[in-house]
A and B are shown apart, each in its own frame.
Chain A
Amino acid sequence: MNRIAVPTRLAAMAACLVAVTVVATGVGSSALPLDRVVAALIGRGETMDEVIVWTLRLPRVALAILAGMALALAGALLQRVTRNPVAAPSILGITDGAAVGVVAFLWIFSDDANALTVSIHWQPLAAALGALVFSALVAVLALLDPQGRSPLRIILYGISLAALAKAAVTLMMILGPVYRAGQALTWLTGSIGAAHWSDVATVAAGLVLATVVLALLGRLVRQLVLDPDTAASTGVAVGRTQLVFLALAVALTALAVSQVGAVGFVGLIAPHIARFLHGQFTEGFLAATAMIGGALVLGADTLARTMAAPVELPAGALTALVGAPLFLWLLLKERRTHG
């Protein structure tokens, strides 16, 4: 794999992603053969096909890809900032923090008739706030602890706060309005469901912003493989850099999970697959990670809506099915190397 030039490798990944996209757009309750999908995509299909593709399938497919990209980038950034290969949005309590935000939002702003008193469009903001509060808590605990800089401590704080957040979510779901509990549950397992182009635009805008930031600061991401003292000696303002990337990871996670729910483990496994296929110190590592994350969530969502049709499985359950064993494997491997 390493013999192939970097641009070729990235192009091959992009081609795979496009292929998965075309297939995913085709399959579903009224399956379209590939030629009709392509015809509809380039605007030469029949009217009915174009409606299915452009209104029903494509927003969902695009949202899955973009959310997967955001989660994967967040994971890669977290792994670099904490210098820990098992760091991920769902492990550091960020995803569960977002869940607290969403459930609290659904509870607080429901009236007696179970209707929301404010626009549902505020839900992403609630998710972002929840994510921010819980990651700030992890950060504060880590800063107060003299050994808090150690990656293992950060993970432990993250896991503890994630458990706390889960408990809060469960309590609110039991005590809150019943109808909203169903809606919250769908969100919690991570399900893309009915997507609109406006949701796609939101995530896309966020990703564009993140890409600009990462293009400007990309070299800093690589520099953070060094321990903090050494990184500082090479000219990195370590504290500030860590803060910026942590904030970016939190924002990306909040952006993704507010739209597609708590799809777990993508942020954990996508960087590792990219590391395996592309190399973590090679130019374009973040691009590769993003594409793999997109393909993962798209694949999971496509399987989720076709495997047991007409029943829709939550995409998050599928990513967790792959991700959880991998997480355990990484933990065991870490223990071996750091004995």
Chain B
Amino acid sequence: MAEALARLRGVTARYDGVTALDLVDLDLPDGRITAFCGPNGSGKSTALRVMRRLHAPSNGTVEIAGRPLHDWSPKELAKSVAMLSQSPDAPPELTVQDLVRLGRFAHKRGFRGQQSEDRAACDRALEVTEMAHLAERPIGRLSGGQLQRAWIAMTIAQETPHILLDEPTNHLDVSHAFEVLELVKRLNRTEGRSIVLVLHDLNMAMRYADHVVLFDQGRVAVAGPTRSVLTEDHITEVFGIECRLIEIEGQDVPAVVPLPSEQAILAR
């Protein structure tokens, strides 16, 4: 494992007194695609928010790229870690292009306007997300899939080695979800960016993640390489459902087939 992207030690985080993370220890590998999975309210999003310093933990220490989180200035951190939150929001009149430009904030200095490197970064971001032809369109007039790609373009324009995505496939249909995850894979494989994303769909995690962290009730149930984490036993234990992994001919990853738990069937 290369140098860790993030290291959490004894991290506890609360929202209005409700514990969302409970004494979490976690090491995330650099240069990989890591998926955070787990039931609703298990702490996935909170862990991401704590790592991006959007939520202050009440206890414990967090390191990003080997440096304590509190050591980073806002702009330094923004040049190292970009994050797309679960429901980002901007005025509907804003054009895609203007939105993507906002991702360049940390790179600008002083009075200078848009520099050539900013323009290049925005153009590239629009290109890899296949949004270039919609650059002039107000974001209020995009479809769900396009809107999600516009936000991802803004995140990419930030040109950070690390990207955190909180449920990037939320509200997307299967084909759009695949599109986003293929993009994530490209960013990782061809540009070497490390990506941490919250995913609900275990099949997507199985296919795209190198490393999986399974959260359960504010704790890390198990973390490690995808195939060793997403096992029938672990999924059953964390989600409380029966589950079968089925190898499909011609596919390099098995399909995750969740089944109602025996107890649920008996209760009927």
Q: Is the CB of A235 within 8 A of B93?
A: no
Answer yes or no: A227 CB below 8 A from chain B CBs: yes
Question: A222: CB under 8 A from chain B?
Answer: yes
Given A222-B102, A225-B94: A235 touches B75 (CB 8 Å cut-off): yes
Q: Are B85 and A236 neighbours in the complex by a CB distance under 8 Å?
A: no
CB-based contact B105/A230 at 8 Å = no
Q: How far is the CA of A337 from the CA of B92 in the complex (A)?
A: 10
Q: Judging by beta carbons under 8 Å apart, are B111 and A215 in contact? A: yes
A235 & B106 in contact (Cβ 8 Å cutoff): yes
Which residues of chain A (203-238) have a CB below 8 Å from chain B? Answer: 215, 219, 222-223, 225-227, 229-230, 232-237
CB-nearest residue of chain A relative to B78?
A235
Residue from A146, A226, A229, A283 in contact with B102 in the complex, judged by beta carbons closer than 8 Å = A226
Complex Cα gap A314–B121 (Å): 53
Q: Which A47-73 residues have C-beta < 8 A from chain B?
A: none
Give CA–CA (A11, B105) in the complex, Å: 28
Q: Chain A residues near B155 (CB, 8 Å)?
A: 233
Residue of A nearest to B158 (CB): A234
Cβ of A281 within 8 Å of any chain B Cβ, yes or no, is: yes
Q: Using Cβ atoms and an 8 Å threshold, which residues of chain B touch A21?
A: none
Please tell me which one of the listed residues A223, A230, A235 contacts residue B79 in the complex, with CB atoms under 8 A apart: A235
Residue among B105, B106, B158 facing the most chain A CB atoms (10 A cut-off): B105
Q: Tell me whether chain A's interface is mostly helix, strand or loop, or mixed.
A: loop
Q: How large is the interface on A (under 10, 10 to 19, 20 to 34, 35 or more residues)?
A: 20 to 34
Which chain A residues (280-308) contact chain B, with CB distance < 8 Å?
280-281, 283
In the complex, A280→B78 CA distance in Å? 25
Most buried by A among B53, B87, B102: B102
When each residue 57-77 of chain B gets 1 if its CB lies under 8 Å from chain A and 0 otherwise, what string results?
Answer: 000000000000000001101
Of listed A222, A225, A227, A337, residue having the most chain B CB within 10 A: A225
Residues of B within 8 A of A230 (CB): 84-85, 88-90
B249 at the binding interface (Cβ < 8 Å): no
State the total of A-B contacts with C-beta under 8 angstroms.
70
B residues 226-244 with Cβ under 8 Å of A? none
Nearest-neighbour CB distance to chain A for B75, whole angstroms, equals 4
A76–B2 CA distance with the chains assembled, in angstroms: 48
| Chain A CB within 10 A, most for which of B16, B49, B89, B155 | B89
B77 to chain A, nearest CB (A): 7
Say yes or no: B74 contacts A281, CB within 8 Å.
Answer: no
Chain B, interface size category, equals: 35 or more
Nearest Cβ distance between residue B176 and chain A, in whole angstroms? 21
Q: Which residues of B contact A236 (CB under 8 A)?
A: 74, 105
B171 at the interface (CB under 8 A from A): no
Q: Which residues of A contact B111 (CB under 8 A)?
A: 215
Which A residues touch B103, using CB under 8 A?
A: 234
- Given A146-B16, A225-B91, A280-B93; A233-B102 close (CB under 8 Å): no
Which residues from B are CB-within-8-Å of A234?
78, 82, 102-103, 105-106, 154, 158
Complex Cα gap A232–B75 (Å): 9
What B residues does A146 contact at CB under 8 A? 16
Please tell me if the beta carbons of A223 and B89 are within 8 angstroms of each other in the complex: no
* Alpha-carbon distance A236/B89, docked complex (angstroms): 15
**Contact assessment for B98 and A233 in the assembled complex, using a CB-CB cutoff below 8 Å:** no
Contacting residues, chain B, for A215 (C-beta < 8 A) = 111
B41 to nearest A CB, angstroms?
Answer: 17
Q: Does B52 contact A (CB under 8 A)?
A: yes
Q: Which residues of B contact A226 (CB under 8 A)?
A: 88-90, 102
CB of B108 within 8 A of chain A?
A: yes
CA distance in complex: A230, B78 (Å): 11
- Assuming A219-B108, A222-B102, A223-B105, is B52 touching A233 (CB within 8 A)? yes
- Inside 8 A of A223's CB, which chain B residues have their CB? 102, 105
9 extra interface residue pairs, beta carbon distance < 8 Å, beyond A234-B105, A281-B94: A226-B89, A229-B85, A233-B52, A233-B78, A233-B85, A234-B102, A235-B79, A281-B93, A283-B113
In order of increasing CB-CB distance, the 9 nearest A-B pairs are A235-B78, A235-B106, A227-B89, A233-B83, A229-B85, A235-B75, A234-B105, A237-B74, A230-B88
- Name 19 A/B residue pairs within 8 A (Cβ), A-sorted: A146-B16, A222-B102, A223-B105, A226-B89, A227-B89, A227-B90, A229-B83, A229-B85, A230-B84, A232-B52, A233-B54, A233-B82, A233-B158, A234-B158, A235-B78, A235-B79, A235-B106, A281-B94, A281-B95
